A and B are shown apart, each in its own frame.
Chain A
Amino acid sequence: MGGLFSAYAWSKVWDFRMGFLTGLGNTLLTALLGIVLAMALGLIFGLMETGRIKALVAVARVYIEFIQNTPILLQMCFIYYALAFSGNSIGIVPTGIIALGIYHGAYMAEVFHAGIGSIPKGQFEAAQSQGFTYMESMRFIILPQTIKIILPPMVNQIVNLFKNTSCLYIVGGMDLISVTYSFVTGEKTGGAYSPAYLLCGILFFLMCYPLSKMATSWEMRLKRKEMAAVRAAGRR
């Protein structure tokens, strides 16, 4: 079983604990900064897509369609090699942050777009009639109302982003997956497959599961509230 029950294999993992921690740190750093970038891009392109300026809508659509319909691994490799072969290499972690940010930004844009689209038109009109500019009505009236709706799909995207940090492996990253793999195949450390993969899996599960659980329960609560509102409206 690859040493699942062997104390020796587990001791190897323990000796390598700093390596795993470094990998975990890199994964967390890449993911967190990737999330920030994805949110920013998502908000910008989501607003562009909901706006009335046709050229900006087109730009947002092209970005979203192109990114969503090609693999993250290909995008990551493309950015990495394009920078490397033009002599502008910026390192693996920054490349990963940019690639993950751009990839998940396209999904976040759709999330923002759907969220803003779900707000009744009257809200925009009311805000405008009160003298709010477009940006002000977005900032103070519309976006705060969308948060409840966009939170669940947004958190799901964050979970996917965490999992996609594994795309760093192909260019020789030092993220959790890559560190685990180099540990189990390393000349001095190799062999302890089961404990290492189990540890890596548990760490990813601990990062992702609470988030996905939260997203699901928010979604359920939202649905129940909607149903209750529909029932209440029916009684009236």
Chain B
Amino acid sequence: MRKILLFAFIVIFAIISRFLFIGKMPPLIDASLIFSRYVSAVLSVGSILLCYILIKHSFKRIKLALLSAFLMAVLPWTIEQGRIFSQVNNALFFCLLIIFFLEKINRRFYKIVLLLLIPAGLYFIYPQFWLFRLSQKMPNLADLLNNIFVLFSPDMLFFHNITFWWGGIKEFGIIYLSLSPFFLYGFYRLINSGRYKLFFLLVFILLISSLSPFFPESREFFFSVPILSFATAYGIIDSFDRNKKRKLVKLLIVFSLIFFFYEISQYFHYYTVHYGQEIIKNQSQIYEAF
């Protein structure tokens, strides 16, 4: 019962945080895009649900699935992308949906068909993907390494997300700062327990994003959000479970989580008060309506 309530809370939170004042925040530069914003918001909530289902199905741990879904619902980047016309947000939903079907379907033929559907679907849903716009100059090896280090830097992860330079929220990173110890610990625990698949998937996404000729606007890194949410949730649960008797560590964990909720309120304050002003200030620089 409690888990159902928590799940309902996450869904309601996701819906409210995506739909409330969606036509006003951020300022709507092109009125015809309001429908696209609604589509993004629906698919953003859908991605959260799929994230929950996939983790629950793969790990058989409801608590972990709930926490991962909650983190995905509150992360700065998912809220930002869920309230604008965002192709990458829609593409993430599509990819998660394909993975969901891949998990559900047993017949190899259908699996191959589904896998083939990914590039075709991405072509229609995410035409901005750099792979479909190969006329741009590709980064050389030095640029590639530089991009990898930037995208996976502490600054990008916890302080300044620069993948949407003029229109995004550069004041926050991909993950809240208060979650950084749990993210690092969760990642360490995942690797330590031999779950390399997620690690390699993250490396793959990082590589694809770093190859983008549009760097630092490597929006493809948005595909990593479910993995980052999962690793952080894993870290929170594992650190609680392993330190049940250590009062000092437990106190630190509780303190971090209080700070986490303060950061969420910071984010919403920034989003509702400052973000709109920044957008209007940068309006002339934003080359695409959203």
Q: Do A and B bind each other?
A: no
